[in-house]
Amino acid sequence: PATSLQDIVGHAKEYGFVFPSSEIYDGLQAVYDYGQNGVELKNNLKAAWWKAMTQLHDNIVGIDAAIFMHPLTWKASGHVDGFNDPMIDNKDSKKRYRADQLLEGKAEQYEAEGQSEKAKALLAEMGRLLSAEDLAGVRELIISENIKCPVSGTTNWTEVRQFNLMFSTQVGSVAEDSSLIYLRPETAQGIFVNFLNVQKSGRMKIPFGIAQIGKAFRNEIVARQFTFRMREFEQMEMQFFIRPGTEMEWYEKWKEARMKFHKAVGLPAEKLKFHDHEKLAHYANAAVDIEYEFPFGFREIEGIHSRTDFDLRNHQELSKKKQQYFDSDLDENGKPYGNYIPYVVETSVGADRLFLAAFCNAYTVETVGEGDSLKERTYLKLHPALAPFKVAVLPLVKKDGLAEKAQAIANSLKSSFRTTYDDGAAIGKRYTRQDLIGTPFCIAVDYQTMEDETVTIRHRDTMEQERVAISELKEKIGYQVAI
C-alpha cells in the first residue's frame, strides 16, 4: 500500500525523529521538535549541504548572522510592503484559507481528471491576477470555479485580503515604533547586509558565494503537512554574487548543481523535478523550484532565484552606504569592468522540507519471507551518511565475555562513526530496532569472534550478512558512509 503522511508522522514520533511542540499542552500548531534521532538526521543533512557549498567550492564561504536585524532591512528587502499571502475566509465554517492554495487545489483536481489544459489555464489566470494584485478578481475566480470550503462545503466566501507573514516583537521596554523588530522571514538578508564585510575581510573576488544555515519565521496562514510548512523552520541559503549580464549562465549552473545534490543525498531522480514559477516573486527575474514527490504530491523543497541587484541596490538606497564592488578584470575592450552593484543568484532550501523528503523516501514497508512465515518489514532506507547511527554492535548473548567484547568493539568505532550498543533482547528484535531508525550496519559478536577476531556485518537493505575481520571494520564502513 502507498505510504500516507499519517504513516510518516506516526513513525517519526514513535522512533524519536519528530515530536509535536509542547505536546503535553496539546501541541502548538505548525511547530515541531526534533527528537534524538531526528536531530541527527537533520544535522547530517545540514552537514552535507554545508560541505557541498563551502568545502567543495573555493569561492564560497559561510556566515552565521543574527535572527534579529535592523527594521529597515525588511523595508529594503520588500518584506514590509510585499511579503503577503492572499487569504480568504469561509463565512460558514469561519475557516481561513490561502486563496492561491484553493486555486492550486482545483488545478490539481483538473490535472487528476486528465484535464491538463484546464489546469494550466487556471494557474495562468491565477498568476495574472496575483501579479496585478487584483484581489477582487481572485475572489471571483474562486467563486466561478465553484470552490467549496472543505469544512462547511459552501461557497460563501469573504473578500480576499493580503496578510503579512512576518512575526514582530518589541525590543527593549518601550513600546514605540522604533523598537518594533521582526523575526527574520528568510536568512538571505543576513548575507546581503554582510556582503561587503565578507568580500573585504576575505578578499573575495567575483564570482563568489556566501552560505548560511539558520532559523526563519513565517506566520503561515494555513500551516499543515507536518514539517513541510512550519511557522518556525530552518533555511539553508547561498547567495552567489556575480557580474551583471552573467546571471542566466549562473542560474543554469546552480539549477544543475542543486539537482545533483538532492540525488547525492539519496532522493531518486523520478521523484524530483523542476517547476518554473507561474508568478515571479517581487525580487526575481527568473525562478525555478526543485520539487520532490511527497505522499501529498510534488511540492517545492528548494528555490533557485535570479535576484538581480534588487536587494543590494535597495540596501544601498536605505542605508546610504555604497554596496559596490570594484572588478579589476578586463572586458573585451581591455578596460576593467570597474565599479558595480553585483547581481545575485540564490539557492534556498528548507532543512525541514529536505528532512521530510529524505524521511518519506527512506520509509519502506516490504513483505519478506515465504508461505507461513510471510511478514511485513518496516525500515528506513536512508543514505548511510544521513542515518542517525552508522553502526550498531550487538553481542549474540550477554554471557561468556561476548558483551565485553562487543562493548570494546563499539568503543573502538565510536570516534569514527556514531555507534550504538544493544544487548537488550533476542538478536532478531535488535536488528528490527535498528532497521526502524535506519542504521545501515549491524555488527554481531558471536562465539566465533572470541576465537578468530571476526564478526558479521548485516546490511540493512538486503539483510545479508558477511564475515569481516574486526581490524577491517573501520575501512569497510568508512567508505560507505560518506557522500
**Burial (0-12, 13-18, 19+ Cβ within 10 Å), 136:** exposed
Give the pairing of strands 363-368 and 375-380. Answer: antiparallel
Binding mask 174-213 toward ligand ATP (x if CB under 6 A, else -) reads ----------------------------------------
Among 32, 233, 254, 310, binds ligand ATP (CB under 6 A): 233
Q: How far is the CB of 305 from ligand ATP (least distance, A)?
A: 7
Q: How far is the CB of 300 from ligand ATP (least distance, A)?
A: 5
- Determine whether the annotation assigns residue 309 to a binding site: no
CB atoms within 10 A of CB 2: 5
Interface residues for ligand ATP in 345-374 (CB under 6 A)?
348-350, 352-353
| CA nearest to 84, candidates 281, 231, 342 | 281
Asked if 301 interacts with ligand ATP (CB under 6 A), we say yes
> Per the structure block, which three cell numbers stand in for 478?
568508512
Cα-based distances in Å from 190 to 64, 183, 207, 312, 316: 8, 12, 19, 12, 15
- Count of residues engaged in binding ligand ATP, rule: CB under 6 A: 15
Binding mask 111-140 toward ligand ATP (x if CB under 6 A, else -) reads ------------------------------
- Determine whether the annotation assigns residue 231 to a binding site: yes
Asked if 311 interacts with ligand ATP (CB under 6 A), we say no
Q: How far is the CB of 206 from ligand ATP (least distance, A)?
A: 24
Among 73, 187, 212, 235, binds ligand ATP (CB under 6 A): 235
Asked if 225 interacts with ligand ATP (CB under 6 A), we say no
Residue 421 backbone dihedrals phi, psi, to 5 degrees: -120, 135
Among 40, 145, 291, 302, binds ligand ATP (CB under 6 A): 302
Asked if 293 interacts with ligand ATP (CB under 6 A), we say no
| CA nearest to 195, candidates 353, 337, 15, 325 | 325
Q: Which stretch binds ligand ATP (CB under 6 A): 9-17, 88-96, 225-233, 255-263?
A: 225-233
Q: How far is the CB of 325 from ligand ATP (least distance, A)?
A: 25
Q: Go through 321-340 and write b for each residue having 16 or more CB atoms within 10 A of its CB, e for each that does not.
A: eebebebeeeeeeeeebeeb
Beta bridge partners of 349: 236, 302
- Determine whether the annotation assigns residue 293 to a binding site: no
Among 7, 104, 134, 220, binds ligand ATP (CB under 6 A): 220
Region of 251 on the Ramachandran plot (φ > 0 left; ψ -120 to 50 alpha; else beta): alpha
Residue 136 backbone dihedrals phi, psi, to 5 degrees: -65, -40
For ligand ATP, the closer of residues 187 and 439 by Cβ is: 187
Omega before 440 within 30 of 0, i.e. cis: no
Helices (H) and strands (E) in the chain, counts: 16, 23
Q: Which stretch binds ligand ATP (CB under 6 A): 14-22, 203-211, 230-238, 461-469?
A: 230-238
User: DSSP code of 469?
Assistant: E
| CA nearest to 290, candidates 365, 381, 357 | 357
Beta bridge partners of 237: 212, 348
The separation between the first and the last C-alpha atoms of the chain, rounded to the nearest angstrom, is 31
For ligand ATP, the closer of residues 49 and 441 by Cβ is: 49
> What distance in Å separates the CA atoms of residue 276 and residue 262, rounded to the nearest whole number?
18
Q: Which stretch binds ligand ATP (CB under 6 A): 227-235, 252-260, 426-434, 438-446?
A: 227-235
Cα-based distances in Å from 193 to 52, 147, 233, 317, 436: 24, 43, 21, 13, 44
For ligand ATP, the closer of residues 157 and 292 by Cβ is: 292
Asked if 300 interacts with ligand ATP (CB under 6 A), we say yes
Q: How far is the CB of 237 from ligand ATP (least distance, A)?
A: 7
Among 38, 207, 214, 303, binds ligand ATP (CB under 6 A): 303
- Determine whether the annotation assigns residue 220 to a binding site: yes
Question: Could you identify the residue written with the cell 547581481?
Answer: 343
For ligand ATP, the closer of residues 49 and 233 by Cβ is: 233
Name, in order, each residue with C-beta under 8 angstroms of 4's C-beta and a sequence gap of 6 or more. 295
Q: How far is the CB of 138 from ligand ATP (least distance, A)?
A: 16
Q: How far is the CB of 218 from ligand ATP (least distance, A)?
A: 5
- From the annotation, which residues make up the binding site for substrate? 98, 186, 233-237, 346-350
- From the annotation, which residues make up the binding site? 98, 186, 218-220, 228-237, 300-301, 346-353
Residues lying near ligand ATP in the complex (CB under 6 A): 218, 220, 229-230, 233, 235, 300-303, 348-350, 352-353
- From the annotation, which residues make up the binding site for ATP? 218-220, 228-233, 300-301, 350-353
